[in-house]
Structure 1
Amino acid sequence: MKKLLIYILPVTLCIAFTQCKKSWLDTSSPSNVDDAFVTTSPSETFKTLSWCYANYRQNCIMGTYRWNDPIGSDAEMYPEDGSSNNLNAIGRSDQLPINAVSGGFNGLYATLARAAKVAGLIKAKAAYQADVAGGKATDWTQLYGEAMTIKAMCYFDLIKHFGDVPYGYENTTVADYTLTSRFAIYDSLIADLKSVEPLMYKIGEGGINAERMSRTFCDALIGELALFSGGYQTIRTDVDGLYGNVAFTKKGAEQYGCVYARRTDYLTYYNIADQYLQAAMDNKGSSGLITTDGRATSNNPFQKHFQYFADRAVSPESLFQLGNIQGGVQATTSEYPYAFGRPSDGGSANAAPTKTFGALRIIPTVYYGEFENGDKRRDASVTVTGSNGDGNEKILSFTPGNKSTGGIATNKWDENRMSPPYQSAQRNSGMDWPILRMADVILLSAEVKAELGQSAAAITLVNQIRQRAFGNTNHNISGLTGDALKEAVMQERKLELLGEGTRRWDMIRSGKYDEKALAVRADMTTMINDLKSQGYHTFPNGNTIANYIYTKMVTLANPLTYDVTDSTRPELYPGWRGQYNYTQYVKGTAHNLAIVGLFTNIDATTAATLVTQGYTKTNWGINLTSSAATIAAYDRNILSGVTSPNDPPRYYWPIPTETISNSKGKVSNGYGLPQS
């Protein structure tokens, strides 16, 4: 950073890229323009504002696997042994170097500074002022609200990932700056967004889709800001007066100059969240929960949302998804499906499909033990197979590693589901990145209502999600109140949003981070001990994980599989796997994997029969227990920073060196993080 590299920089308002599959990215601009030119028309202004979206995508969001959000919970983990890439995820951010994510930190400030500059230019325009006086959403009021929403989203990311940060210095030259209380920042952002959201377009109005920020998304963001302000979080105790008159209820011990706490007036913020999460649903425009499928191949409206990403289209369930470009000269880095997609051992180019690293793995006790029978989300969310890279399906291994090793993986972003998959180069698929969808908003609203004692309303919202998940009302919840209802909402969020980077924040916000961390570690220990002592472990729901399964390659007329409930069809069950019907870089003709014994322990007689049918005995659970090093790797990678129920969660990244060194001692890192 330069002297306050909080991107207090003179802004040359120009766009960073041209051409895209999406209309709003089809832009071009002179390389040097002045402020007056930027606001000559809404279209010219948006060309500048679109730089913010591009910079957010390229230089902010994916830093160190999206800030470790999707790989640090009691459901999700990182797959490699001994890597430093998941130090934040496991709760050991004290071991990070100070500049671990300086690029993301600076990128967020650069983005919000540009957005704030654009907002200021629009606000000074007579045309904008006339539109505000008219009280009706127009292109100018939308652009102003859009710029303010981008700014707020960037500050939200900064608070979540760095805690208290400098605020309000953008586009000015300052010699002195200091930390600002996160609670004061939340209040300021909420007030700003409340003032702009009435004059923004809903999704579907004014040519706005979910690749731009709308009134729909703005309402949801206000709700999230309020909910995070009112929820539990780790706060600093080493900076006198930082939080002013805000009082707290504390949990656990004060350590490392911090403590786990919630503001005592939290219900005020839950009421704000209640109002604006409801507003997001009321102002949904053309967006909404996908409840029907319509495909000849399946009836899974939950999976259909993710299919839109594979189809390189905007999902009607999205409130915001970040646009990407496939291949060619203008390609953007399609990091999300590469990092978090269904794994592939393919090479970096010209493979079927190309390499997918698979940094996001699902903890096996969750896959086996927490989904109810009939839940259509399980197979669409989690996969036990990946790709060999030559058109063939491959069983994943619990041995620590990446690609086809590292454990069972998320199944929501699978390049095999593209038509056709992009085979020329890895990280070039063109899939958009998910940010927020309506199911998340519905369940956030349920969480808030449960906390506010609106039990019936919360249950109704949860059951909307469950009815889609099961395809009927047979699994609806009823009669829950208080802590039991809060827990049911948390569990529903866990299964619905698995792998989407929300679970760790739910754990933190609910005040149950330590409790949940210790519980999943205990569950893993019990499972591993049973695998070692008896060769299998059976979960309360009846599912069994065993040391061995039996597999063979088979030929299917359609090698890409869909929903299946018949567990006697090992070539199809579990569903949502297989391979795209590739024509290049393919080996052999039997591309699908039949699996027997995935949820039961195979006895010796059955095993002998399977071998005569061409099945091979294949390592499964035994790879979890094969060595002390493997057991230690899983123990480390699952929230090992939590050692007692009194530990304050440490999930912040260090503020970079230059911001600290240029602050004249007014900015420091807390939480036991490095200062230099």
Structure 2
Amino acid sequence: MKFYIMKKLYYSMLALFVLINTACEKDFLETQSPSELNEEFLFTAPNEVQKAIAGLYDKQYDLDRLLHYETEVVGSDSERHPENYASQGRHIPEGLFATEFNINDGNSATTWKECYQVISRANIILEGIEGNEQYQIDSKGGEPTEWTQLYGEALAARATAFKLLVRYYGDVPYFNYAIRTAGQADSIGLTSRDIIYDNEIAALKKAVPLMYRLGEAGVGAERYSGTYGDYLIGRLAFDAAGFQTRRTDFDYGNVNFEQKGKENATWQAKYVRRSDWQTYMNIAKEHYLKVVNNPGSARLIESDERGEGFDNPFQRNFQYLMDLEVSPESIFEGGYTRGKNSDFPYSFGRPSGGGGSNAYPPKNYGQARIYASFYYGDFMPNDKRRDVTACVTANSGAASERLMNFEPGSREKGGLAMNKLDEARFKDPYTLSQRQSGCNWQVVRMADVMLDLAYAAAATGDEATAKTYLTRVRSRAFSSEDQASMVTSYIAAMSGDDLLEGIAFERKLELAGEGKTRWDMTLYGTMPDRIKQLRDRQIAMVEGLKSNGYYTFPETGMTISNYVWTKFVNIKEDIDPSLNLLTAQTPDGITTADPRYPVLVPGWRGTSDLWTDYISTLSSDKVNLAIRGLYEYIDPDGPIAAALEADGYEKSPWGINMIENESQYTSDIFKGYPDSYYAAGEPPRYNRAIPFTTLAASKGLITQGYGHASE
């Protein structure tokens, strides 16, 4: 059971904190008159303020869902979308604007508006708490209390919203005071992101020491804790230190910059970081250390208590989410309620071809996909994260496996998809309806923080700390037999820029499909380079498939082929009655000579044993897939293929479908940043447009940037 469900509290107390949407013409503000909210009553007791905070969380849980879905989790050098480029308008901003885009795009405009709703509501709550006499006493006491905790939660909500606004839009309107009338907003224009970062960091530094650490006083990972507050300071400082695309038609005051490439005169922008970036990186390091040294109840999961056959602490983290339990690795989770909502794993999990309801499992679209060059070319075959991160089979929706297909599309089509969440792997699978699994969104987890800390430490010259936390995260991905070669000597050989690149690479492996890599690429100043490298690898792979029928990635020795061979098997009767593919960690050292190989490699796939009654209606040999040829080339006209086909295997298309949809996997990748842009040193244009209603209502104080239209 989840130990704190903010949503339930919100739904029961909604009437006590209604904020209207129509009182202000500027859609970056939301105001109300005092008559619509009895603030004098609301701020008299912590339990009343808690009801208002619950309303903030209800908005906060979905705050980043739309643009996360549209760009962050499908627009990196590991993550991609499943459909044809031309089939979805959202591929234009994801691919860095090969063509112009509607500035009032629904997902972008909604995110803009909802971030400012959170900010406006948070400011009202903060002002109300500041006026309470008991809070004033508690804020000077040096120890957390109910009042100081609630104040910190409201402040963290505001800072989180501004963090997202800067990420997506750049320099945005900023206000850290309550606004109740439209007239109060008349003088608000754009504010430099540097001021926003500085102000929010300063406010959090005062508030966070007076917040409970995670697990204290009933504050769990579905609420903002002091642990999250230190993470948030670190995150804001890290962002402030990083490379971002900035406007050249905007005054950043006395801030100086280091520049990558050249300025783009057409849309007036440059790719830069602050010259004093190390100051901010040191702040990031300081507060990330506070997270790992004083985490409260949070921890990195470094062992798997489930026993033989599991042995995967990386997967254990995600299994907590699928068991509808808060993971001990979580710093913050967005809380969802079964039967009401949850895009997880519908959008970011293992796909299912089931219908919208009463299926095994119901439809899962599979928005987050994995590049084949990342899967085959970056993961070592003994990395325990590979099979948990990406899946080669989908759920059919009828309690059986179906081979993924590289034809563009959804569900089982669209190529390799995510496997960190799988409705078949739920402790209590929900088969009644799609998008209602109740699975939380794990927004921040300890491994994320540790790798950010490692990068900040390495960037500021503290390589010992960097290697300590890089080692802790990487160690759990390999067996004890592989530690010396895959962890100890691997990390020991790194220093300087190689260490920074190694940490960036580890984040890519660790966080694939979680929507973190695109922003990493941006902040590290490597987005142009990584786009070019990705496209070159994909092209080399497709050319190899066309010329030879296969391609072997030199970094890993793994081979992708045009075809694989598959057949349905009854693993309980014909292979091993103890096997459950769904929770199987592939045994170390297993080879193709082992009769279990076709069903154990790759691991972490299959269907739910809990669907026994339904499965019994299927033919016994139509549940699980045996697969050969995923990582080896089998000549379609050779003796191995002939033997497999004699044994009941069918030749199934694999890489050949990338050849038949070549542009999808090569030239359409980051279509708005072609090779000519890279050669010219152009800045990446990832920033979203400010909605027209905001521009129109600002009377010229807020202007559009980055070459986007103004109407």
What TM-score does the superposition give when structure 1 sets the normalisation length?
Answer: 0.93
What's the CA shift string for 1:428-457, capped at 9, x where partnerless?
001001110010000001101111111122
Identical columns (%): 41
Equivalent residue for 1:223?
234
Equivalent residue for 1:72?
75
What's the CA shift string for 1:336-368, capped at 9, x where partnerless?
311111111111111111111111110000100
Q: Tell me by how many angstroms 1:419 deviates.
A: 2.2
Distance 2:144 2:583 in 1: 45
Q: Tell me by how many angstroms 1:496 deviates.
A: 0.5
Q: Tell me by how many angstroms 1:559 deviates.
A: 5.3
Which of 244, 259, 264 in structure 2 is aligned with 1:250? 259
Distance 1:97 1:371 in 2: 38
2:523 matched to 1:488? no
Q: Tell me by how many angstroms 1:392 deviates.
A: 0.8
What's the CA shift string for 1:54-73, capped at 9, x where partnerless?
11224x22114535111111
Q: Tell me by how many angstroms 1:585 deviates.
A: 5.6
Cα distance change of structure 1 residues 67 and 669 upon mapping to structure 2, 3 Å threshold: farther
Equivalent residue for 1:468?
476
Corresponding letter in the other structure for 1:546: S
Distance 2:608 2:258 in 1: 53
Which of 348, 356, 361 in structure 1 is aligned with 2:356? 348
Q: Tell me by how many angstroms 1:672 deviates.
A: 1.4
Q: Which runs of 5+ in 2 are unaligned?
A: 1-21, 573-579
Equivalent residue for 1:601?
633
Distance 2:284 2:98 in 1: 30
Equivalent residue for 1:616?
650
Distance 1:614 1:671 in 2: 57
Equivalent residue for 2:601?
573
What's the CA shift string for 1:117-151, capped at 9, x where partnerless?
11211111111111122211111110001110110
2:246 matched to 1:212? no
Question: What secondary structure sits across from 1:560 in the alignment?
Answer: helix
Q: Tell me by how many angstroms 1:479 deviates.
A: 3.5
Contact 1:93/1:650 (<8 A) preserved? no
Cα distance change of structure 1 residues 65 and 502 upon mapping to structure 2, 3 Å threshold: closer
Which structure 2 residues correspond to residues 262-661 of structure 1 after superposition, within 5 A?
262-296=273-307, 297-327=309-339, 331=340, 333-472=341-480, 473-474=483-484, 475-476=486-487, 477-540=491-554, 541-557=556-572, 558=580, 560-565=582-587, 566-568=590-592, 569-581=597-609, 582-583=611-612, 586=615, 587-590=618-621, 591-603=623-635, 604-626=638-660, 630-643=661-674, 644-645=677-678, 646-661=681-696
Contact 2:68/2:515 (<8 A) preserved? no
Equivalent residue for 1:48?
52
Superposition RMSD in Å:
1.6
What's the CA shift string for 1:375-429, capped at 9, x where partnerless?
1011111111111111110100011111100000111111111122111111000
Which structure 2 residues correspond to residues 6-45 of structure 1 after superposition, within 5 A?
6-10=28-32, 33-45=37-49
What's the CA shift string for 1:493-552, capped at 9, x where partnerless?
100111111111111111111001000100000000010011000111211000110000
Contact 1:67/1:161 (<8 A) preserved? no
Which of 664, 669, 676 in structure 1 is aligned with 2:704? 669
Distance 2:546 2:117 in 1: 52
Which structure 2 residues correspond to residues 100-111 of structure 1 after superposition, within 5 A?
100=105, 101-111=108-118
Distance 1:509 1:584 in 2: 51
Distance 2:591 2:116 in 1: 51
Distance 1:8 1:636 in 2: 43
Corresponding letter in the other structure for 1:356: N
What's the CA shift string for 1:283-311, capped at 9, x where partnerless?
20010100111113401111111111101
Distance 1:351 1:471 in 2: 37
Contact 1:551/1:616 (<8 A) preserved? yes
Q: Tell me by how many angstroms 1:114 deviates.
A: 1.1
Q: Tell me by how many angstroms 1:93 deviates.
A: 7.3
Contact 2:535/2:667 (<8 A) preserved? no
Corresponding letter in the other structure for 1:56: Q
Q: Tell me by how many angstroms 1:161 deviates.
A: 0.6
Q: Tell me by how many angstroms 1:460 deviates.
A: 1.4
2:61 matched to 1:57? yes
Which structure 2 residues correspond to residues 171-190 of structure 1 after superposition, within 5 A?
171-172=179-180, 173-190=184-201
Contact 2:261/2:682 (<8 A) preserved? yes
Runs of 4 or more off by more than 4 Å in structure 1?
583-586
Distance 1:96 1:346 in 2: 33
Distance 1:637 1:310 in 2: 34
Distance 2:60 2:225 in 1: 17
Distance 2:591 2:144 in 1: 53
Corresponding letter in the other structure for 1:252: G
Contact 1:252/1:648 (<8 A) preserved? yes
Cα distance change of structure 1 residues 584 and 246 upon mapping to structure 2, 3 Å threshold: farther
What's the CA shift string for 1:192-244, capped at 9, x where partnerless?
100101000000101011100001011011011001111101000123x2x11
Q: Tell me by how many angstroms 1:635 deviates.
A: 2.7
Question: What secondary structure sits across from 1:134 in the alignment?
Answer: coil
Question: What secondary structure sits across from 1:670 in the alignment?
Answer: coil
Contact 1:65/1:339 (<8 A) preserved? no
Contact 1:73/1:638 (<8 A) preserved? no
Contact 1:176/1:664 (<8 A) preserved? no
> Per residue, is there more helix in 1 or in 2?
2
Bigger shift: 87-96 or 608-617?
87-96
Corresponding letter in the other structure for 2:45: S
Distance 2:167 2:403 in 1: 36
Distance 1:424 1:86 in 2: 32
Cα distance change of structure 1 residues 12 and 426 upon mapping to structure 2, 3 Å threshold: farther
Equivalent residue for 1:21?
none
Contact 1:393/1:579 (<8 A) preserved? yes
